[in-house]
Structure formats: structure tokens, C-alpha cells
Amino acid sequence: MPQTEVRRAPFDRTAAGAAIERWTLRSGPVEATVLSLGATLHGLTAPDRTGRTAQLLLASDELAAVLGPARHYGATVGRYANRIADSRITVDGEDHPLAPTGNGVTLHGGPDGFAHRLWQATELPGAGVRLTLHSRDGDQGFPGALDVTVDYLLDGSDLTVAYHAVTTRPTVVNLTNHAYFNLAGEGSGDVLGHLLTLEADHYTPVDERQIPLGPYEAVAGTPFDFTTARPIGKAIGEVGGYDHNWVLRGYDGGTAPSRAAFLEESVSGRTLEVLTTEPGIQVYTANGFDGAVTGPRGVPYGRYSGVALETQHHPDSPHRPEYPSTVLRPGEEFRSVTVFRLGTS
């Protein structure tokens, strides 16, 4: 198989004048683009069953949108993805207030999380791009200086996202990618007809803040049952849109990714298989989108125009000792791998 072609080009500049880079990875007909701002997966192009390619991610080429209403589109989210209740954590008996994001929680690492940072990027020749970030001790309230790397590796139709982090003090870490997929192509309408399968028999019910109530609940007989393929829109009206975490049955704490989700769009025939080493997957159906972001085809993104499949640890795990731990200590390594496998049916 030929090596992946890797190219670097300018994207824009920050208000302070710092250069934002756009990296393009190409392997056959599949192309991925990555921005150094937010270590963002900014584009993913793949063919349908006839060979016609389309951009499958919601995105904007306007810097104002990337810094504003599209700030989480495809970004690397951390230091703690999803929500932490009451904007505080306790690690080894020491209390740490966190920067709040409103509604009584800290979401996606705080108001100045990793999605807003300029990462340093270097080429991984013939494979992809590596992005690195140093997060100081006390950043957004989190203890420990954290050094993070995110590798984007394209091999044929497999896009692998590999995370690594080390810390100087005991802390908590939960990283994910926040891409929104529409397998019919961005700007083509909603994803309610996409067929979704989740490798999960349980989910985590939440309160009005989207904080888990605690125990897992079975999905059987509920709108959360995607154990077999069903349209995203089949029961979405019963819950007002999905923004929930499912508990993956294949999680074993190991290093080999297992299947988490399978997404299919019947008209184009495009499919997306998601494999991960993580214990959970947050499915968000863009419930709050209101047309504030316009995509490359000139179409504003409305409600349900994409679906995020965020592989991660469960929300509020620092307050839930019964959940898989997110604690990272000095001398340990945080490692996480997710594979986005494109195909056609």
C-alpha cells in the first residue's frame, strides 16, 4: 500500500499573529485535514458507492466561526471531555475548584480548554501528523502540568486518532475528538435517516445538567436501544435529541480498540465504523444547532445536521468511583486510541 501523502499549508492567523496550520493527509481517495488550532479534525473526504467523494464533517473555513460557534467542531477536547459536576474535583483527598462553564458544571475542560489552544504540529512521514500541547499546573483548575500528544494517522480508509499524556501531579484526564459526521455530505440535510448501531447494552441516565445520576440503566425497550441498526430519528422525539453516554460492552481496559459504533447512510452507501479503547461513547445529534455556522457548500447547519460520536470515559467519573477511573499519576502514561473506519455498503 502506498504511503500516506502529508502536506502542510497556512490556514489563518490568530489575533496575536500566530500562524494556524492546515495539514492534509491523503491515502487513495480518502483525505483528512487537521488544524493546529485545537488539534482539530477539520475535514474528512471519502467516496460513496459510485466513487463520488464528499466532505463528511461539519466545518467552517471562517476563523471567526472556528473561534466562535464552531469552536468544538472536530476539536480535541480536554483536559476533561464532557461534564464534571459542581466545577470541582478531589484527587488524593485534595480539593481542586475548576473553572466553570455555566449550569453548575465544567464542560470540556473549562472555558479555555484544549479546543481553543494552538498546538505544535510535526509530520509523521508517510503516516500523518503529531500535535503536542503543554498544559501548565493549575490550568483551568486542574492539578499537574500535563504534556499531551495527539497523532492523526491515515492508512487507506482508516483514520486513527491516538492520544498520549503524562503529568507532574495526580490529576484527571479524559480526551476525545468532537467531529460531527454527515455521511451524505456536509450541508446535505439532517442525519435522522442515518442507521446507527452502538455496541452498548446500557447507558448513563442524566439529570437536568447532563450529569449522570449514577447507576447504568439497560437500553432495552427505551429510545436508547441501538443494539441493532435503527434510524437516529426513530425515537429522537421522545428524548428531544440525543446527548447521552453509552457504556460500551467491549471495554476491557486494554490497548486494542474494539467496535463501539457503526453508522450507515443508505443513499450514498457510505459507512463509518468506530473502534476505541475507551469505555464509553457520547452521541450528540447537534440538537442546539440554529444555523449560526455555514459550511463550505454555503448551507447553514441546523438542528440534527450532524452527529458526534465521542469516544471517552463516562461523564463526571471523578465523582463516581464505580466508573472506570480517569486518574493519572506521575510515572504513568495516559493512552487512548480511536479508529474511524470508512467504507461503503
Supply the residues annotated as catalytic.
178, 310
Instruction: List Cβ neighbours of 143 (8 Å cut-off, separation of 6 or more).
Output: 91, 94, 96, 137, 169, 170, 171
- Listed residue (293, 292, 261, 294) closest to 275, CA to CA: 261
**Positive or negative torsion for Cα 236, 294, 48, 268:** positive
Distance CA 283, CA 315 (A): 12
| Runs of H (alpha helix) within the chain | 63-67, 236-239
For 245-256, b where at least 16 C-beta lie within 10 A, e where not — what string?
bbbbbbbeeeee
Q: Are strands 200-203 and 105-107 parallel, antiparallel or unpaired?
A: unpaired
In single-letter form, the type of residue at position 11 comes to: F
Contact 169, 42 (CB under 8 A): no
- Listed residue (72, 302, 321) closest to 187, CA to CA: 302
Q: Are strands 307-312 and 120-124 parallel, antiparallel or unpaired?
A: unpaired
Phi (first) and psi of residue 331, to 5 degrees? 90, -15
The DSSP H or E segment spanning 133 is: strand 128-135
